[in-house]
Amino acid sequence: MNTVNVNEVIDKAKFTPFHFKVVFWCLIIILFDGYDLAINGVTLPLLMQDWGLSAVQAGMLASTALAGMMFGAMMFGTLADKIGRKKVIMICVLLFSGFTFAGGFASNPTEFGVLRFLAGLGIGGVMPNLVALTSEYAPARLRATLVTTMFSGYAVGGVMAALLGAWFTPDFGWQIMFFIAGVPLLLLPLIWKFLPESLTFLVKAQKHDNARQIMQRLDDQLSLNAQTQLVLSEIKIAEPAFVSSLFKQGRTANTLLFWLAFFMCLLTLYALGSWLPKLMMAAGYSLGNSLMFLLAMNIGAVIGTVGGGILADKFHLKPVIITLCLSGAVALSLLGFKSPQPVIYFLVAVAGASAIGGQILLYSYVAQYYPLTVRSTGIGWASAVGRSGAIVGPILIGMLLGMELPHQLNFMAVGLPVVIVAIAVSLIVRKDRAVDVDSVTEQKLKAVKA
């Protein structure tokens, strides 16, 4: 009976159409998560007019979806390690697309808030599973590049929302933005057919026939038959998919630092995503120009995300994330001062590269840090803690706007958290430098046998 190591085959595989298919479908799904972030920025000024909301009330309304995302990330990240990533992704798409679509029919803030919370459960749950699935199938030399390329769909969704908002809301109102979000419901049959299940889950669940079919598509040179035994190199000490596992085997400090980084990064990201048009209007720009700033932010995010992923595969995620965050803090501080419009667009793009690109690279860093058995749990809980920062962000900026402080202080307040992200990431011990408990245990076993 021959044995094939699943992880080694994936790590050494050439890029194939199968890899492209995984990245493509995950990108399509996450595009609508980015779209959902950006529609807050597009629709909040219009909702404030239609329903007579104050800045603080609008900020709290924007945070209802973010509260749902926090709970969704907690529940569905852990659930995927138990029932499989593909099933959870399908459930999440059904939730976020269906309830976001229904949000277009809301007639008052209460209905709107409830629907946004329910949609948030799916939005928060789908992201960690898309990251984990892409990371799991990516060859080692391309892992950061493929994860960030997939995640660039998040920023592309923001670009799409800004463009569609500028084109359609003047004629069709804010509701059209939510109706467009129902498109993924039509794609569910295609996603079910073409998106593969996690190989790790298939092997753990003893579904070796399905796993062998996927392995053959990853490497057509493999010689596999019904007697071929598939093994996972990382499972040397079995770990349950519980949150307590994130604090074992020397991971406690890094887990807490990841959580702090996620909290601060998502606070900045959602503060900007929800309030950038309103912040720019407070600084003297029109709504039309302010939507173009939202567009510039997301274009910067696409460039920062893909470029950051390429640089991370050449160097490491850690210095790239730190550089992005510090650049974003400088850009956000400078936004509060009068500059020529091209300079303002550039600074907004750098801020987008920092906030959105930095967050996406953080997801990739977490995916590489945790072992396969608890990967979705690790990503899900980091995302959940981050979502609490996302809830705080729009409310905080709403309060700042309500205080009518100089707009320079508003932008500096948004920039401060990304400095904290840079500090937290700088303190994370790289996995290859940490104590590898699995390796130590294996060495002890070998010594006993000897």
Please write the tens of the pLDDT for every residue from 219-251: 777 777 666 777 776 544 445 556 667 777 777
Q: Where are the domains of the chain?
A: 3-449
Three-class secondary structure of residue 231 per DSSP: strand
Interval 392-408: pLDDT, tens: 777 777 777 677 667 67
> Could you write out the DSSP letters of every residue in 281-295?
HHTT--HHHHHHHHH
Question: Which ranges in 138-251 belong to alpha helices (H)?
Answer: 143-172, 175-180, 183-194, 199-204, 208-218
Task: Read off the pLDDT of residues 3-48 as tens digits, 9 standing for 90 and up.
Answer: 777 778 788 888 888 889 989 999 999 888 778 767 877 787 788 8
In the predicted structure, residue 91 carries a pLDDT above the cut 90:
yes
Q: What is the mean pLDDT of residues 95-114?
A: 89
* Architecture of the CATH domain 3-449: Up-down Bundle (1.20)
Q: How many CB atoms lie under 10 A from the CB of residue 322?
A: 17
Give the integer Cα–Cα distance in Å for 419 and 392: 17
Collapsing DSSP to helix, strand or coil, 427 comes out as coil
Report which of residues 440 and 262 the model is more confident about.
262
Q: How confident is the model at residue 203 (pLDDT cuts 50, 70, 90)?
A: confident
pLDDT of 175 higher than 90 = no
Q: Is the pLDDT of residue 283 over 50?
A: yes
Backbone angles phi, psi at 296, to 5 degrees: -60, -40
Model confidence pTM above 0.85: no
Q: Give dist(CA 71, CA 61) in Å, integer.
A: 17
